Structures are given as C-alpha cells and as structure tokens.
Amino acid sequence: MREFGYQRVFDVSGAVAQLAAEPGARYLGGGTNLVDLMKTGVERPARLVDVSRLPLGRIETREDGGLHIGATVTNSELAAHPEVRSRYPALTQAVLAGASGQLRNVATVGGNLLQRTRCGYFGDVTQPCNKREPGSGCPAVAGEHRNHAILGASEHCVAVHPSDMGVALAAFDAVVTYETADGPGGAPSRGELPMADFYLPVGSTPHVETALPSGALITGVTLPPAPVAAHSRYRKVRERASYAFAIGSVAAALDVREGSVHEVRLAFGAVASRPWRAREAERVLTGAPADAAGFAAAADAELAAAAPLSGNGYKVTLIRNLVVAVLTELSEGASR
C-alpha cells in the first residue's frame, strides 16, 4: 500500500476545503471498499480525509413527508430505521441483502453510492482495465464476464455497479445532495443530483462514474414522499444464500386498483454500470392489467434493449422471471 496522510475533519466546510487544496486526497467513510482497494493498489490516495465523524449521521422526516438520510448513516442504521422499514420496505430489504452484519455496521450511505465495481479485471492491477487505467482495454468483453452488464454497457467497459441499496434508491427517485468548495472565494456550495443523473453513461469514459463535481462531498440522500413505496419489495439472486454480490436483482413497488396497475416502480441491479431504473417497463405497465402476462410483457419491453455478451445471456431470462415473480407477489397483496 502506498503511504498516505490522514486527517480527521469535523465539519463539512473543512472537509471540502481539504479536497479542494489537495486533489490527490480522498474521503474516507467506513472504508469497507476504499481500504480494501488500497491494499491491492487499485486506489492510491495521497491523503485520506476522514469524514466518518461529520454531523451527517441522522435520518430526518421532511416537511413534505419524505426522508433525508445523512451521508454517514450506516447501512445498518438505515435498514433498521422505523420510517424506512414501514414506508420504503424495499430499501430496508435491499440494504439487508448486501454484505454482512460486520460490514453494514461500518459502511455508509455516501460510500455505498461511490463504491467501485467488483469486476475481477478492475480489481487486479496486473490486468488492463479502462475503468482503472483509461485506454488500456477491457479484457472482460472477450473474457470472464458471466456477472457483467446486459444493459447500457459499451465496448470500453461491461462492469456492473454492485450496490443493492442504490437499486431501491433509484426506484424511489432519491436525490443525492452534495457540497463543494466552489462558492465565491472557496466558500461551500451546495448541489443535488437525482439518481437518474447521478451515474454517467459508460460510453468511452468508464473511469468517470458520477456527475459529482471534482472534490464534492456527498452530504446525504433525500427520498421524496412516495405512498406506493410502502408496498414494495427487493429480491436478489446470488450464487450462494447470503453474503455475496447479486447476479441480478429487482426493486419494485406496485399500486393495483380494480385489477389495473395504477402506479409501479421498477429498478434492476447487477445488470448495468448503475442501478437500472426500468422506465420503459413502468410505462408499458401503467394502466395495464396486473397479471403475469402483463408483467412479462413489461419486462420484455425493458429488456428489448439488452445486449448480452456470449457468457451472460442468462441474465435476460433471470431478470424477466424476477420481475414477474416480484410483481406477482406484490399484486397478491403481501407487502413484503
């Protein structure tokens, strides 16, 4: 591991000023992904700015009835929060489906959004990887790619975003709030990005993952009020029963009235470089009969854009079946 400086900060303005002054620095939250990547040499920061003790550890109910989740709230705290469990149950389920108790107690909401792909080529510094070393190539396209992207990828990168939490956040139209030191005279300046715009298309720049300005610190995530979210579910498929990354997952919320879909939210995990909001499927479903044939047709409409590689075509079938199963379960009334 490369030697590095370390600084603990206690206010947001101090944190963003540190990163503005030293571009080679990185924020340290729980460190469950960053420290691991530093050990293998994938990440080589000159300095860590420890933001874990910033006053961003609260979940608050907003006046509009939504929730604001501070960036240093841990995954465990988020999953256990009474309002999240009752009003956005798929978010609790998504968080609990990820990692282990030990990691969820430490990992933060801000860090979860910024975690890196688990593509084996990205994690191995002896291999080419356009995400880690722009222009070096992508061995996954013709190599090991059974858990890689089927949607929104490019010839330059086919890695998937590993987050479970982000899939539920995408389904619920979450908005990421951040601060930078870009105000007049280096003063703090606030901004926000909806989940739909937070992750950038892969294109030819897979190393540029988010639309966050340089040096920005995520301060939290806002969940707008969404009554449909109270009737939601997250389902994850993985290669062992627990403590593994998804090979496919679905977050869904459904409101059925008189046999027709009144409102639906649908997002997929482990299929793209970002949590994949299935807007085409939502469009097809809205107003359609709430039955298995309708759910399958909606999944097919979304997956028409899928471009699987030679070794991951199973994901198209997997996601289709997951969509039908989760929506069927929700339409049958059990809100779990």
Partner 1 sequence: MDPSTSSDITLDINGEKHALLVDHRTTLLDALRERLDLTGTKKGCDQGQCGACTVLIDGQRAVSCLQLAVAAEGRHITTIEGMAEGGQLHPVQQAFLDLDGYQCGYCTPGQICSAVAMLDEHAAGWPSAVTGDVRTEAAPPELTPEEIRERMSGNLCRCGAYVQIVEAVTRAAAERTGTRPDGIAEKPADPATEVSA
What is the binding site for partner 1 (CB under 8 A)?
1, 3-6, 8, 28, 31-32, 35-36, 38-39, 48, 50, 52, 76, 79-80, 82-83, 85-86, 89, 92-93, 96-97, 99-103, 105-106, 241-243, 335-336
Measured from the CB atom, is 80 or 125 closer to partner 1?
80
Measured from the CB atom, is 8 or 207 closer to partner 1?
8
Supply the minimum distance, in Å, between the C-beta of residue 165 and partner 1.
13
Measured from the CB atom, is 80 or 196 closer to partner 1?
80
Supply the minimum distance, in Å, between the C-beta of residue 106 and partner 1.
5
Measured from the CB atom, is 231 or 320 closer to partner 1?
231
Supply the minimum distance, in Å, between the C-beta of residue 115 and partner 1.
12
3-state SS string for the chain: CCCCEEEECCCHHHHHHHHHHCCCEEEECCCCCHHHHHHCCCCCCCEEEECCCCCCCCEEECCCCCEEEECCCEHHHHHHCHHHHHHCHHHHHHHHCCCCHHHHCCCEHHHHHHCCCCCCCCCCCCCCCCCCCCCCCCCCCCCCCCCCCCCCCECCECCCCCCCHHHHHHHCCCEEEEEECCCHHHCCEEEEEEHHHHECCCCCCCCCCECCCCCCEEEEEEECCCHHHHCEEEEEECCCCCCCCCCEEEEEEEEEECCEEEEEEEEEECCCCCCEECHHHHHHHCCCECCHHHHHHHHHHHHCCCCCCCCCCHHHHHHHHHHHHHHHHHHCCCCC
Supply the minimum distance, in Å, between the C-beta of residue 91 and partner 1.
10
Measured from the CB atom, is 52 or 180 closer to partner 1?
52
Supply the minimum distance, in Å, between the C-beta of residue 86 and partner 1.
5
